[in-house]
Amino acid sequence: MAKQIPLQQLRINENRIKLLNNMGIYCLKDLILHFPYRYDCIEATSLINNEKVIIEGVLIDEPKVFFKGRLSRLTFQILYQQEIYKVIIFNRHFLKKNMVKGMLLTIIGKYNNANNSITASDIRLKALKEITGITPIYSLKEGITQKSFQNYVMKALKFYQGHIQDEVPASLLIKHHLIHKELALNLIHFPCNNDDIEEALRYLKYEEFLKFQLTMQYIKLSRKKNIGVKKQFDQQILTQFINQLPFRLTPDQNAAVDEIKRRLDKFTEHVEVHTIHGFIIEHIIQPFQQGLRDIMESDFGIGVGSKGKISSQVEGLGILHGIDKNEIYEFIRKNFQMMSLDIAKKQWEKLKLIMTRLFLQL
């Protein structure tokens, strides 16, 4: 499915194509990869009080319609297993013209044994055996019906028949007992039973996670191969800049600046490129790990497992990624034992200025 085939290939009219485009569907591949978000399973059930039931009955009287404002109510009786049941359904008055005494109906609704009635959510004017099965339900824009979308998907799958390649290696397909991708795509859209859905999802989930893991491994390998870039700093200028700040740096902040300078000054083919986030976490946050779990849980509502590294959890807080600044200042105040939020704010701004001076992007 590498080649992008336009939707016009299926002879879909332009108005429908615009609606599909609004759903992010621009080609046949997008159409096939738009999966159902749930499935309706239609099969006969027993009559259980206050439970959803699906039964087949014979219409034995003339349906009656009652209106109250914009609300309509359709009522009629059916014969099911030699007993008579009353069926009520709302806003389906238009069905009456197609309902003939003696015809088979499939009733889907909630059963009430107190008065032998069923409040229906749907009525199918067909025998149950004609509609038994699993129906996929898609998230669609108004103007596109479930049936028409299914037809588009069916045509797209037929167009690609025999040309959908597996993205999971054959050895892994055999090892994990996975079906082929083409079959998985057909089953996810047109399943005959729940087992079909399960088999399709097993392949599609495995493929997705395999791609994710390979991407992460590639990024990790790329980072290891990156060559550190040596930076020359004028210590006199840096010292002057720090001295002109309105507050004196804490010992830990000085240590952080020195460590950043040392690492960026080092040039080796095996050095891994670090970011400002890692430096701050390693040299500013970690020295104050004692009691950090309690602070994070009580002040920020974030639980940290006893086995996990605090540094990664702090990074996960998004301290440098748009968290409310007042929460950042409160976090710094707590961890640096500062007396006021104003001082915490100035310390944070001061740290940002230093990092900017070191040509690093915060």
| Residue pLDDT, tens place only, 212-268 | 888 888 877 776 655 555 556 677 877 888 888 777 888 888 888 887 777 666 544
- pTM more than 0.75: no
Same domain, 23 and 139: yes
Q: Do 196 and 308 reside in the same domain of the chain?
A: no
Residues 102-134 have pLDDT tens digits of: 999 999 999 999 999 999 999 999 999 888 889
My answer on whether 12 and 156 are in the same domain is: yes
**C-alpha to C-alpha distance for 108 and 120, rounded to whole angstroms:** 6
CA gap 276, 29 in Å, rounded: 41
pLDDT in tens, 139-154: 998 889 999 999 999 9
Are 31 and 57 part of one and the same domain? no
Is residue 22 one of the residues assigned to a domain? yes
User: Of the residues 207, 226, 257, which one is the last residue of a structural domain?
Assistant: 207
Q: Based on the domain organization, do 62 and 77 belong to the same domain?
A: yes
Residues 345-357, mean pLDDT to the nearest whole number:
54
Helix axes 292-300, 325-335, angle to 10 degrees: 150
Q: Are 27 and 125 in a shared domain?
A: no
Q: How many CB atoms lie within 10 A of CB 51?
A: 10
Given a contact cutoff of 8 angstroms between Cβ atoms, the answer to whether 26 and 12 are in contact is no
Do 144 and 127 share a structural domain?
no
**pLDDT at 89 (0 to 100):** 96
Same domain for 249 and 109:
no
In a domain, 155, yes or no: yes
Report the mean per-residue pLDDT for the chain: 78
Q: What is the mean pLDDT of residues 277-304?
A: 47
Provide the 10 A C-beta neighbour count for residue 345: 18
Residue 215 belongs to a domain: no
| Structural domain contains residue 1 | no
Any domain includes 223: no
Q: Which domain holds residue 30?
A: 7-39+135-166+174-207
List the beta strands (DSSP E) in 142-209: none
Distances (CA, A) of 326 to 16, 300, 323: 49, 12, 9
Structure tokens at 87: 């069926």
Q: How many domains does the chain have?
A: 3
- Do 318 and 305 fall within a single domain? yes
Helix, strand and coil percent figures for the chain, each rounded to 5: 45, 15, 35
How far apart CA 352 and CA 350 sit, in angstroms, is 5
For residues 247 and 343, give the distance between their C-alpha atoms in angstroms, rounded to a whole number.
9
Same domain, 271 and 146: no
Answer whether residue 53 is part of any domain.
yes
Same domain, 119 and 159: no
CATH number, position 119: 2.40.50.140
